[in-house]
Amino acid sequence: MVHRRLTAGTAVSRIRAGELDVHVQRLTPEVPLDGDAPIVVCVHGLLTDSLASYYFTLGPAFAERGLDVLMYDLRGHGRTTRPESGYRLEAFIDDLVTVLDTLEITRPVHVIGNSFGGSVAFGLAAARPDRVASVIAIEAEPPTAEWKQRMDTGFAVAHDTLGRDGIYDQIKEDHGAHTARLIKLGNRILRTTTIADDILSSTTISTDLSTLRCPVFAIYGDESGMAPQAQYLHDHLADCRTVVLADQGHSVLVERTAETIELIFEWVRDTSRLAAQVR
């Protein structure tokens, strides 16, 4: 493992996880919450995303409040190895377990997942409930058969849209050079790997969510296509809290950062304290 200290409480590493070199950043608190900082693991979304979306939003704020924050680039994304194939959901789940094992994190963690990252979090909770203290889903859904159908539609739209002539110049003009660069990187992943086919062949969990037994907290925007997931989770999970933000679309993490920080921190703090009382 290559490990480089950046500033007090911040470390960046490359760790070997199976066949991958995984880019990891960890923010450790100067004063741990309750003396034994709860660990939160941040899992980002697909194609245009990376751990940077957490590094510039939730990560530093959580570390300042006493949480131990782990962020990493998913396979094929950011500075992590990009294999041509091997992108089934199960691989993303196995990668997360391997990252935790390599960093010798053995106690259950709170997994924060944005968009596809939330599906990874739900999948980990179903497959390895011993590793998960709670799932925090931001604009995300469990990996059920319905999820796979929506992913299929999303990949088809992305493939057609990003293949249009002049699309990057249009995005650059409308949304800036940074967004255009992210879109171009996402298109490269889509067209040089088997990610779309692999995810669509992933193993799903039952629609009754009976394999999910840990506490779940989910945040949605009321103008997002994900908003109906709030009621779905309530209908199928015994230990679940949801918040639907008014006048908000899919980009909750970057557009409602301050509210998201408060909501998730309070959830992690209270859930951790309750678990400690039970032990």
User: Could you tell me the CATH number of the domain that includes residue 195?
Assistant: 3.40.50.1820
Task: Tell me how many domains the chain contains.
Answer: 1
> Which is more confidently placed, 109 or 19?
109
> Which is more confidently placed, 9 or 34?
34
Per-residue confidence band for 163, with pLDDT thresholds at 50, 70 and 90: confident
pLDDT of residue 5: 36
Q: Residue 185's domain spans which residues? A: 2-278
Whether residue 99 is predicted with pLDDT greater than 60 in this model: the reply is yes
DSSP 129: G
The Cα 23–Cα 47 span in angstroms is 16
pLDDT in tens, 212-243: 999 999 999 999 999 999 999 999 999 999 99
pLDDT in tens, 246-267: 999 999 999 999 999 999 999 9
90 membership: H or E segment, kind and range: helix 89-102
Whether residue 4 is predicted with pLDDT greater than 50 in this model: the reply is no
The Cα 25–Cα 5 span in angstroms is 10
Per-residue confidence band for 29, with pLDDT thresholds at 50, 70 and 90: very high
Looking at every residue in the chain, the average pLDDT score rounds to 93
> Which is more confidently placed, 152 or 278?
152
Contacts for 189 with CB less than 8 Å, ≥ 6 apart: 47, 76, 77, 82, 195
Whether residue 162 is predicted with pLDDT greater than 90 in this model: the reply is no
pLDDT of residue 9: 62
